[in-house]
């Protein structure tokens, strides 16, 4: 029997992206698409909010990218080791009721979050077109899983090395121009990608749900970093979302605020020291 919050499986998806499956039976039973957990890798570690990518029995799988000090520390843990904290599910589930045909658009790491949304829709009987975007073929993740969660999977690469040559927005607009009609579009990924997905869907008058989890930090609303202006009102992604009507979000304001932390994250990553450094091989 695994221990509480034990990492049962760890899989490197790309040099910068890793998947871990954690023993957390209560969370696994309750988690729904779009919800997130908060974990701490160590007793003195930061709180890290990560969206649930999938559940399997008693296991909850999350996917993270090594960006700053906290995710670098998390990545040092191996299968068999335990997290200090693993709390959830938090946030509101992604609304899927009444949707018969949907396009789910994921960008990069956002595909790990698009996956459970597509699967929930597919399991509910909806027809799902899933569009996954990556910079290049070498960093495509979860392709088989996305294929199984959709009726049609379209992989896009910025450099044209695999699948559709271009951005996810180009593929989405191509599908819409060809006559595809969707009850709703779901966009999950970088803020700029979600902004331009919404510009495409506005032209076709398609309701669009976006996940604002990329701007979450402490996951409780106390830090205020995930505040977002929605239809002129201030909301917090972690407690009011993370899903919102993409056509009502002030993306320019949100993108400008999110850029505030990039320099700090890069500095902390450069300063990070792996706990294995200096250890002998003997």
Among 167-171, 200-204, 273-277, whose mean pLDDT is lowest? 273-277
Task: Burial-class residue 94 by CB neighbours within 10 Å (0-12, 13-18, 19+).
Answer: buried
Q: Which of 30, 51, 17 is nearest to 186 (CA)?
A: 51
Q: Which of 171, 52, 181 is nearest to 120 (CA)?
A: 52
Q: In what order do the strands lie in the sheet with 17-23?
A: 7-12, 17-23, 59-65, 48-56, 36-40, 85-90
CB 74 within 8 A of CB 272: no
Domains of the chain: 7-90 (2.40.30.10), 101-261 (3.40.50.80)
Question: Count of H helices and E strands in the chain?
Answer: 9, 15
Task: For 28-81, write each residue's pLDDT tens digit.
Answer: 999 999 999 999 988 888 888 899 999 999 999 999 998 878 888 899 999 999
Cα 270 to chain centroid distance, Å, stands at 24
Among 21-35, 112-126, 179-193, 212-226, whose mean pLDDT is lowest? 212-226
What are residue 113's phi and psi, to 5 degrees?
A: -95, -30
Among 33-47, 112-126, 155-169, 227-241, whose mean pLDDT is lowest? 227-241
Task: For 191-208, write each residue's pLDDT tens digit.
Answer: 999 999 999 999 999 999
Q: Is the pLDDT reported for residue 11 higher than 80? A: yes
Among 61-75, 118-132, 215-229, whose mean pLDDT is lowest? 215-229
Task: Count the Cβ atoms, other than its own, within 10 Å of residue 20.
Answer: 24
* DSSP 8-state secondary structure symbol assigned to residue 98: T
Q: Dihedral angle at the C-alpha atoms of 235, 237, 241, 243, nearest 10 degrees?
A: 110
Q: What is the pLDDT of residue 281?
A: 39
Cα separation, 220 vs 64, whole angstroms: 19
Q: Which of 255, 203, 262 is nearest to 229 (CA)?
A: 255
């Amino acid at each position: 029997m695994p221990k509480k919050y034990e990492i049962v499986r760890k899989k490197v998806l790309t040099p910068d992206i890793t998947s871990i499956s954690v023993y957390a039976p209560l969370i696994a039973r309750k988690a729904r698409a779009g919800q997130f957990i908060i974990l701490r890798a160590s007793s003195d570690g930061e709180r890290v909010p990560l969206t649930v990518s999938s559940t399997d029995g008693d296991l909850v799988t999350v996917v993270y990218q090594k960006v700053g000090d906290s995710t670098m520390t998390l990545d040092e843990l191996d299968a068999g080791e335990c997290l200090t904290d693993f709390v959830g599910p938090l946030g509101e589930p992604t609304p899927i009721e009444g949707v018969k045909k949907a396009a789910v658009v994921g960008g990069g790491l956002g595909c790990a979050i698009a996956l459970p949304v597509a699967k929930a829709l597919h399991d509910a009987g909806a027809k799902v077109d899933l569009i996954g975007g990556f910079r290049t073929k070498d960093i495509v993740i979860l392709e088989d899983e996305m294929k199984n969660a959709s009726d049609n999977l379209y992989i896009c690469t910025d450099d044209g090395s695999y699948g559709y040559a271009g951005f996810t927005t180009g593929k989405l607009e191509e599908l819409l121009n060809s006559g595809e009609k969707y009850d709703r579009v779901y966009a999950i990924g970088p803020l700029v990608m979600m902004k331009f997905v919404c510009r495409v869907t506005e032209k076709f008058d398609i309701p669009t749900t976006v996940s604002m989890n990329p701007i979450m930090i402490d996951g409780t609303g106390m830090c205020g970093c995930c505040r977002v202006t929605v239809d002129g009102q201030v909301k917090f992604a972690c407690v009011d979302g993370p899903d919102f009507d993409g056509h009502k979000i002030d993306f320019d304001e949100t993108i400008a605020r999110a850029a505030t932390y990039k320099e700090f994250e890069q500095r902390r990553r450069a300063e990070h020291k792996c706990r294995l450094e200096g250890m002998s091989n003997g």
